[in-house]
A = this chain, B = another copy of it.
Amino acid sequence: MTRSLLFRTEDLSDYIIQFFVRHDISPKDARTAAEILLAADLRGVDSHGIIRLDTYYGTRLRKGLIDPHARLEVVRETATTLALDGGSGLGQIVGYTAMQRCIEKARQSGIAMVTVRNSNHYGIAGYYAMMALPEDMIGVSFTNAQPLVAPTYGRKAMLGTNPIAVAVPAGGERPYVLDMATSIVPIGRITVYDKAGKAIPEGWGIDHEGKITTDPKQVLNGGALMPLGGIDLMRGYKGYSLALLVDIFSGVLAGSAFGTDVAQPSTNEPARVGHFFAAMRIDAFRPLEEFKQDMDVLIRMMKNSPRAVDQERIYIAGEKEFEMAERRRTQGIPLLETVVESLKASGQLVGLPFDLDVQGVVEN
């Protein structure tokens, strides 16, 4: 049994902005970073939200591993492509700026792609893909990350949970928003089971010998996550190959670190995370309104298709997250008491007490 406290989004946002400003981030950049971080909490991707405020960002800013004043440098540019160097800046600012540039270029050229080297953990991949939606474009965002996933037939964590995010506008229906790790589950999921003293489902992870284990500690200590698909019989090499693909686009094509050279956020090395972004104008291919109508038809076709026994609803990628965000915006964002404690501790380090109004308590 765990307890969570509910906080208003605006209060958390103000706190995060002040926290970043105390770390020498400009108020404008701090607002952007806070919005992206809270987008994770709102959408229910708690592992990529405020829980990481100090471990992924604050600590690394204080160590000088994230440069609060980094300016993106152009490494190479064509009418349709742009290769940027993030200068070890805050991942959210680097990612936001890079996707903005990508959208600007796509506005001119129909389609555009942007790579980024030397960045840091940028939060949820989906945020950047979704930036394309109000522009009536399809948005794509990949990033590599610290190694946590073993290749099929391997036993060592060699690849990040390297997410694939794609956002596609629809008409009357909500947009399609895919934001998926290429592992079965993120590492945070394993930690949750470990803290609860529970066994993990068979297939999520392996031990240090590469054998499937249901003991979360074996996965966390020298083991690895399984790629989407799981074991060979269930075609886990597809998930492994997708993780590798994301590393090729985000790491190799960007000229950034890749594979085991992407640093763990807890180390004292520059992370050298790489990102990849794409934006596509829909009207470069067909009239926008026709496209949106057909998106609605496809979405409804799936949602109204016959359900399996005992199932109540068929979803479209992103749908659960949109509904979660609506709920949390009104009811508040729940933070585990342990998370609140760690926010208080990290706040003290920079003289910023975490003393926001608690809107309610949730028992899980």
Interface residues of A (CB under 8 A from B): 75-76, 78-81, 83, 109-113, 115, 138, 150-156, 158-159, 166, 168, 176, 178, 180, 184-185, 201, 203, 206, 209-211, 228-230, 233-235, 237-239, 241-242, 244-245, 247-248, 251-255, 258-260, 280, 282, 284-286, 290-291, 294-295, 297-298, 301-302, 305-309, 311-317
Contacts and interface: CB of A to CB of B under 8 A. Distances in A.
Contact of A298 (B241, B258, B309): B258
Contacts of A255: 285-286, 290-291, 294
Contacts of A180: 235, 238, 241
A239 to B, nearest CB: 7
A315 B232 CA distance: 12
Contacts of A115: 285-286
A153 B313 contact: yes
A166 B164 CA distance: 14
What's the number of copies of this chain in the assembled complex?
A: 2
A305 B156 contact: yes
B209 A308 contact: yes
B317 A154 contact: no
Given A235-B185, A285-B76, A286-B75, A211 B309 contact: yes
Contacts of A229: 184, 228-230, 239
A326 to B, nearest CB: 20
Among A110, A150, A239, the one with the most B-chain Cβ atoms within 10 Å of its Cβ is A110
Contact of A294 (B158, B233, B252, B282): B252
B295 A76 contact: no
A129 to B, nearest CB: 11
Contacts of A154: 302, 305-308, 311, 314
Given A151-B302, A253-B285, A308-B155, A245 B314 contact: no
Given A180-B241, A228-B235, 16 more contacts: A78-B109, A80-B109, A80-B110, A81-B111, A111-B113, A153-B315, A154-B307, A178-B242, A184-B235, A201-B234, A209-B309, A228-B239, A229-B229, A255-B290, A258-B298, A259-B302
A251 to B, nearest CB: 7
A253 B229 CA distance: 28
Contacts of A316: 244
Contact of A113 (B156, B158, B280): B280
30 contacts: A76-B285, A76-B286, A78-B109, A80-B80, A81-B285, A83-B285, A111-B113, A153-B307, A153-B312, A153-B314, A154-B302, A154-B308, A159-B302, A166-B245, A176-B248, A180-B238, A184-B229, A184-B234, A210-B308, A210-B309, A230-B234, A237-B317, A241-B317, A244-B302, A245-B317, A248-B295, A252-B291, A253-B285, A255-B285, A255-B294
